């Protein structure tokens, strides 16, 4: 994974090309990010509603087409209303904002590129948006906040309890997501 999303487009392309060239020598696929998935920033940001309504940071389908062609990247992480969880130390225990996805925007990106799309910031996205995203090109969803927060809260008292919390949380998330995608029964019946 290379994240040059905070760079100007040409610099992101150049950095990604270098990583792709080296990784592909060893047959290692590369994921890159285009667009600004907010959540890393310190200090005040506009409200989520303002960011979503303005489309600020959304991945441009035109830029995505150019980016994929010029870099040869294997997966593309896109910004379509998703935001990272509480990454900064000051906000790490805050509940993540419930988000939604701009599915029509995703459709344009999916039509512009012919590679799997990735969604970062999967915690807090309503199920109906997840399903529509998967139907429109999202093949991988990164979920961290829902796993990290319970783990960190228990770390100081008991590593064993923290590990058990992670285990139970992952089972809950995966089971829920498989139900959304309609694949739970297929996978569970093969064991």
- Tell which residue, 177, 153, 183, has the closest CA to residue 166: 153
- Check residue 92 and give its pLDDT: 61
Secondary structure class of 163 (helix, strand, coil):
helix
- Tell which residue, 76, 62, 92, has the closest CA to residue 20: 76
Residue with tokens 């429109």: 136
Using CA atoms of 100, 102, 103, 109 in order, give the dihedral in degrees to the nearest 10.
Answer: -130
- Check residue 190 and give its pLDDT: 43
- Tell which residue, 55, 76, 110, has the closest CA to residue 4: 76
Determine the Cα–Cα distance for residues 36 and 84; give it in Å rounded to an integer: 10
What tens-digit pLDDT sequence spans the chain (191 residues)? 999 998 999 999 999 999 999 999 999 999 999 998 776 555 556 777 888 888 888 999 999 999 999 999 999 999 999 887 655 455 565 665 678 899 999 999 999 999 999 999 887 888 889 889 999 999 998 877 667 777 777 777 778 887 888 788 888 877 877 776 665 444 444 44
- Check residue 146 and give its pLDDT: 67
- Check residue 183 and give its pLDDT: 54
DSSP conformation letters of 67-85? HHHHH--SEEEE-SS----
| Beta strand extents in 58-161 (DSSP E only) | 75-78, 117-119, 138-141
pLDDT in tens, 45-94: 677 788 888 888 899 999 999 999 999 999 999 999 988 765 545 556 56
- For the entire predicted model, the pTM comes to 0.79
- Check residue 103 and give its pLDDT: 97
Pairing of strands 138-141, 117-119: parallel
- Check residue 58 and give its pLDDT: 93
């Amino acid at each position: 994974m290379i994240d040059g999303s905070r760079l100007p487009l040409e610099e992101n392309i150049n950095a990604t090309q270098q990583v792709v060239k080296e990784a592909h020598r060893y047959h290692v696929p590369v994921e890159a990010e285009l667009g600004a998935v907010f959540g890393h920033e310190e200090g005040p940001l506009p409200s989520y509603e303002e960011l979503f309504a303005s489309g600020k940071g959304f991945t441009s389908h035109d830029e995505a087409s150019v980016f994929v062609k010029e870099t040869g990247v294997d997966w593309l992480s896109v910004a379509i209303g998703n935001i990272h969880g509480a990454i900064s130390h000051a906000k790490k225990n805050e509940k993540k904002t419930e988000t939604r996805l701009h599915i029509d925007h995703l459709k344009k990106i999916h039509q512009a590129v012919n590679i799997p799309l990735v969604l970062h910031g999967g915690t807090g996205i309503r199920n109906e948006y997840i399903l529509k995203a998967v139907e429109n090109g999202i093949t991988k969803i990164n979920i961290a906040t829902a796993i990290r927060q319970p783990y960190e809260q228990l770390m100081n008292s008991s590593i064993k309890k923290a590990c058990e919390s992670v285990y139970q949380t992952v089972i809950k998330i995966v089971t829920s997501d498989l139900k959304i995608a309609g694949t739970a029964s297929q996978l569970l019946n093969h064991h």
